[in-house]
Amino acid sequence: MFHVKSSITLDKYAPVGQIDERIYGSFIEHLGRAVYTGIYQPGHPSADENGFRQDVIDLINQLNVPIIRYPGGNFVSGFNWEDSIGPKDARPRRLDLAWQTSETNQFGLHEFMQWLDKVHAAPMMAVNLGTRGIDAARNLIEYTNFPKGSYYSDMRRKNGAEAPFNIKTWCLGNEMDGPWQIGHKDAVAYGKLADETAHAMRIVDDTIETVACGSSALTMPTFGSWESTVLDIAYDQVDYLSLHRYYGNQDNDTPNFLAQSLDLDDFISGVVAICDAIKARKHSKKTINLSLDEWNVWYHSNDHDAQDAKWQEHPHKLEDIYNFEDALLVGSMLITMLHHADRLKMACLAQLVNVIAPIMTDENGGAWAQSIFYPFMQVSTLGKGTVLTPIVKSETYGTKEFAAVPYVDGVAVLNDAGDTATVFAVNKSLDTPQEFTIAAGDFQFDQVTLSSQFAGYGLKETNEDGHMRLADNTSYYLADDGVHVTLAPASWNVFQIKVQ
């Protein structure tokens, strides 16, 4: 069989930046079955005394997710946070206008904070800047973060939480540039509201970090001007700017689909450039970093969702069943995100359970991992330390959208101890193996401790029966100049090497 050569060279003296592990975050929205029959299902055989599904908790803990965004998403723009606290039998049933479903509020703020302890994650809390604003946000942070002695902090204590929740990361609304958003605003109106809301919240707790809404997609007609206007107004009150990006293969064009990580790279680079331009214009010493707090593949469930009846409780919605090629793109997106570790400090795989998610549940059965679970798990558990500037050499191919797509995506991470390098690589060629060299560069390679591949599955193959597995790649050998290994066609690959 014909093989193509490619390589990645490790340069210890050219770091991209330290990885903020919040880049491996995720997202739970009151949407579909993400909450009800997802993470929360009283009476299920695996449910604990709080109704939290232990089988789901076990899978989430394998993913090592450090931060989880909540409660939305589009949902938050019509959400009254007060509905979700207090005795469950007194909580109101509401119409969720965003997804046109019925919300029972049986899982709310306190339940979410209790559940986070089970999955060892911190909250990224979003406030409603659609139908509400400054007043609701300042009351919410008083409830969650103020110790005691005020109306809302004492209400929290009365509801069973003596100590404050101390939520430190706050999203100032959701996708406020989108016409679909309840309470959608133009950039000037949103910038003023975000600035004033963050200011009021910081008076209650000056240790918080805030995330302003950037563009919902690179394709938004206001992209660029939205970011510039919002930051021009709210720069001093904002720590991060959000961006959202989803991809699909509706045209069944796999080579073009797998190339979409190049679009993500352009999106991130463009937003960084805008942030830095505003910084320069303001003569500011403060740097705005990025939060990619929604990203994934999303398209499989679109036809089904268009037929849903309105006002159901937790309907089957956005339940994409992911295939193997989706896992390859998710891997490439993770590699792209690591390339920007100097500025991309938070990210949320959207979402976590049942709704465009790596984890699915059966209401009357167990929980299972989708194909995209595996690359995410490996990067979130092994991708810790400093990203090294990637020097990747690869032949390229062209598609209808992209002129030169590298067959191989790759990135290298050096751990904090400086003795282990981890390389993540995707071979996007559908039929040709790659003779791949991990060149030692300024390092000395001592030993390969992990050589793993996710390969050999059909592009449209799914994991509904739980048969997919990571496998050892035994084709490697260690030489003076580095590690030489064969990357299978259409494969996700991980290597760990002891270095000096």
The CA-atom distances, in angstroms, between 430 and each of 226, 324, 354, 474 are 39, 12, 29, 21
Q: Looking at residues 152-179, what average pLDDT do you find?
A: 98
pLDDT tens track for 229-268? 999 999 999 999 999 999 999 999 999 999 999 999 999 9
Q: For residue 277, is pLDDT > 60?
A: yes
Q: For residue 1, is pLDDT > 60?
A: no
Sign of CA dihedral 187, 189, 195, 197: negative
Confidence of residue 307 (pLDDT cuts 50, 70, 90): confident
Confidence of residue 40 (pLDDT cuts 50, 70, 90): very high
Q: For residue 166, is pLDDT > 80?
A: yes
Res 400: pLDDT: 97
The whole-chain average pLDDT of the chain stands at 97
Rounded Cα distance between 333 and 349, Å, is 11
**Residue 12 or 328, more confident:** 328
Pairing verdict, β 491-499 and 445-454: antiparallel
Structure tokens of 267? 């999106």
Question: What fold, for 4-11+388-499?
Answer: Immunoglobulin-like (2.60.40)
Structure tokens of 31? 């949407």
Domain ranges of the chain: 4-11+388-499, 20-382
Residue tagged 């990645």 (tokens)? 8
The CA-atom distances, in angstroms, between 292 and each of 79, 103, 120, 212 are 22, 27, 21, 11
Burial of 194 by CB count in 10 Å (0-12 exposed, 13-18 middle, 19+ buried)? buried
Angle (CA) 345-423-436 rounded to 5° is: 140
Taking a C-beta distance cutoff of 8 angstroms, is the pair 28, 70 a contact?
yes
Q: For residue 129, is pLDDT > 90?
A: yes
Q: Name the residues annotated as catalytic.
A: 175, 294
Burial of 203 by CB count in 10 Å (0-12 exposed, 13-18 middle, 19+ buried)? exposed
| Edge-to-edge order in the sheet of strand 434-439 | 391-393, 4-9, 434-439, 482-487, 477-479
Q: For residue 403, is pLDDT > 80?
A: yes
Phi-psi region of 120 (alpha: psi -120 to 50; beta: other; left: phi over 0): left
The fraction of the chain above a pLDDT of 70, given in percent, is: 99
pLDDT tens track for 361-386? 999 999 999 999 999 999 999 999 99
Q: For residue 473, is pLDDT > 70?
A: yes
Res 2: pLDDT: 52
Rounded Cα distance between 327 and 346, Å, is 21
CATH architecture of the region 20-382: Alpha-Beta Barrel (3.20)
